[in-house]
């Protein structure tokens, strides 16, 4: 929820500061703890993951691409398991792994061919013979094999590590193997290239909100009544940007009344900014949203993740807003950077996640505590048919275009990554 943003932001900052001073393992552990305690959540997860993977690439010892991939994958799945409710962690891990594969093949091909365009074709032709393309399942056995062999070799010497990598270099082990041919001499070059690539991902994450906001003017027209459900930082920036050029009215909706302890308005800062732009902001203190929908022109909220079917993982209650909008045939605009696009199918467990119930039933009331099965849902799923526009840092998208964006950003062999258990 919005009010808590202020309280968890420092812990991310602290973590990022400490990254350089700590050993890699300590950094991983402290991030895992922060994720488990949900002191880092939402968009910060992606940022933190990218920072940590950067450390993995920079600090850990690796001598070829497969080792690096395995390292990243192991750390990645530990993070993803620490916060299964944050699919963006997996997205970033996939992005980094794809990046490593790209850089590695680029390196290798750069030796053979001079130009990049030829290299692209080469990559295609290398990948083409691997039979079935929808890869989660075909890619699993080889990656599992790499994990296993990595562990098997762990106790052995550095020399053995290399030799294990060599034994993997057989056609049967799948797409990742050819890259293990990368020469040890190119390790430092590869490292710096991968680090640059991760920096780019980090830039993408940090700039996503601004880029999304740049489409605000197109989406919001003068005189609109916009319903923003639990505005995240992304939505806030979007609205503030729109307020610079447009006069409209914003309804802010949430399921719960503001906490009794904090009597002040959680959106005071946003209100101030919007009022400065001459935009009216009204908090709608209501459980249901159907009552207001006849007045509303469009509904805006941010997605925590966009699944490959076009469904959204959202804050609890956003599906109520989307459903009400749908009933009145009002457009629903979901905001979210491309890094939130998750090449998976939605999971019921995450979308039906329940949270703390203590604020709803007083523990002083024993009979109620015993009797009630309180279900405080904290995450929610919006089915694809309720979403009209996916507004990303690459511009507005439709459901039909999502697949090609996913394909652009993830390698098929990395799609199934989170299925693999971490270090056993």
Partner 1 sequence: MATEATGAPAGATPPQGGNQTTAAPVNPATTTPANPAQLTPAQLKAKAKADKAARRAQVKETKAVVAAADAAKTTVDAKGNKGKGKQDGPQSQSKTSPQHRASVSGRRPSTLAVEKDVRSGIPECFSHIPMAKRIPTAQAHKDVHPAVLLVGQQMATFAIKDSIARLEATLLAFRKVIGSYETPKGNSLSRHFVPHVLNPQIEYLTECRPMCYSMGNAIRLLKAKVNDFDIDTPEEEAKEGLLETIDLFINERITLAEFVIARNAAKQINNGDVILTYGRHRLVEKTFLLAKKNGQLFDVSIIDDPYDRGGQELASSLQQVGIRVFYSPNLGGLRANVERATNVLLGTEAIFANGSLHAAAGTADIAVAATNASKKVIVLCETINFDRERVSVDALTYNEIDPEQNTSESFRLLFDTTRDKYITGVITEFESGTGNSPAQAILALLRKQEDPTAIA
Q: Which residues of the shown chain bind partner 1 in the complex (CB under 8 A)? A: 225, 249, 255-257, 265, 267, 271, 280, 282-295, 316-317, 319-320, 323-324, 327, 351-352, 354, 357, 359-361, 367-368, 371-378, 380-381
Look at residues 74, 69, 70, 58 and name the one whose alpha carbon lies nearest to residue 23: 58
Shortest distance in whole angstroms from residue 408 CB to partner 1: 31
Closer Cβ to partner 1, 24 or 284, answer by number: 284
Q: Measured from the CB of residue 25, what is the shortest distance to partner 1 in angstroms?
A: 38
**Closer residue to partner 1 in complex, CB, 86/380:** 380
What is the Cα–Cα distance from 212 to 307, expressed in whole angstroms? Answer: 19
Q: What is the DSSP string of 294-358?
A: TT-SEEEEE-SEEETTS-EEEETTHHHHHHHHHHTT--EEEE--GGGEESS---HHHHT-B---T
Task: Provide, rounded to whole angstroms, the least separation between the CB of residue 325 and partner 1.
Answer: 11
Q: How far is the CB of 359 from partner 1 (least distance, A)?
A: 8
**Residue 40 CB coordination number (10 Å):** 26
How many residues are given for the chain?
A: 424
The b-or-e profile of 291-303 (16+ CB within 10 A means b, else e) is: ebbeebbbbbbbb
Beta partners for residue 187, in sequence order = none
Cβ 140 to partner 1 shortest distance, Å: 31
Beta strand pairing status for 298-302 and 332-335?
Answer: parallel
Given the complex with partner 1, which of 102 and 256 has the nearer CB atom?
256
For residue 242, the minimal CB distance to partner 1 (Å) is 18
- Measured from the CB atom, is 78 or 326 closer to partner 1? 326
Q: How would you label 335-369 residue by residue, b for 16+ Cβ within 10 Å and e otherwise?
A: bbbbbbbbbbebeeebbebeeeeeeeeeeeeeeee
Closer residue to partner 1 (CB): 322 or 335? 322
Q: Which is nearer to partner 1, 118 or 291 (CB)?
A: 291
Cβ distance to partner 1 smaller for residue 94 or 326: 326
We find the least distance from the C-beta atom of residue 268 to partner 1, in angstroms, to be 8
- Name the residue with tokens 């505590």: 369
């Amino acid at each position: 929820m919005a009010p808590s943003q202020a309280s968890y932001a420092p812990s991310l900052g602290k973590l990022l500061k400490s990254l350089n001073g700590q050993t890699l393992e300590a950094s991983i552990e402290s991030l895992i703890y922060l994720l488990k305690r949900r002191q880092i959540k939402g968009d910060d997860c992606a940022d933190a993951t990218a920072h940590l993977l950067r450390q993995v690439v920079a600090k850990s010892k690796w001598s070829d691409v497969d080792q690096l991939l395995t390292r990243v994958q192991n750390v990645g799945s530990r993070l993803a398991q620490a916060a299964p409710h944050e699919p963006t962690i997996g997205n970033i891990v996939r992005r980094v792994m794809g990046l490593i594969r790209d850089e590695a093949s680029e390196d290798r091909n750069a030796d053979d061919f001079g130009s990049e365009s030829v290299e692209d074709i080469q990559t295609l032709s290398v990948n083409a013979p691997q039979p079935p393309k929808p890869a989660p399942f075909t890619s699993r056995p080889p990656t599992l094999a790499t994990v296993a062999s990595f562990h098997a070799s762990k106790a052995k010497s550095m020399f053995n590590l290399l030799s294990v990598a060599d034994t993997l270099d057989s056609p049967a082990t799948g797409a990742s193997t050819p890259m293990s041919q990368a020469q040890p001499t190119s390790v430092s070059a590869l490292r710096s290239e991968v680090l640059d690539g991760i920096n780019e991902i980090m830039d993408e994450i940090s700039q996503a909100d601004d880029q999304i906001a740049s489409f605000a003017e197109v989406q919001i027209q003068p005189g609109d009544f916009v319903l923003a459900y639990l505005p995240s930082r992304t939505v806030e920036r979007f609205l503030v940007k729109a307020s610079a050029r447009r006069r409209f009215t914003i309804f802010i909706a949430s399921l719960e009344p503001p906490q009794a302890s904090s009597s002040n308005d959680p959106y005071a800062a946003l209100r101030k900014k919007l009022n400065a732009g001459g935009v009216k902001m009204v908090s709608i203190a209501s459980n249901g949203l159907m009552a207001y929908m006849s007045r509303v022109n469009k509904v805006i909220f941010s997605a925590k993740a966009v699944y490959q079917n076009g469904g959204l993982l959202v804050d609890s209650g956003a599906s109520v807003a989307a459903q009400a909008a749908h009933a009145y045939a009002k457009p629903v605009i979901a905001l979210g950077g491309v890094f939130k696009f998750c090449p998976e199918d939605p999971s019921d467990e995450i979308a039906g996640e329940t949270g703390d119930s203590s604020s709803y039933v007083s523990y002083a009331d024993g009979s109620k505590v015993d009797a009630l099965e309180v279900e405080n849902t904290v995450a929610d799923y919006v089915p694809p048919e309720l979403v009209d526009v996916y507004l990303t840092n690459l511009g507005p998208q439709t459901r039909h275009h999502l697949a090609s964006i996913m394909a652009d950003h993830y390698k098929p062999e990395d799609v199934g990554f989170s299925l693999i258990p971490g270090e056993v």
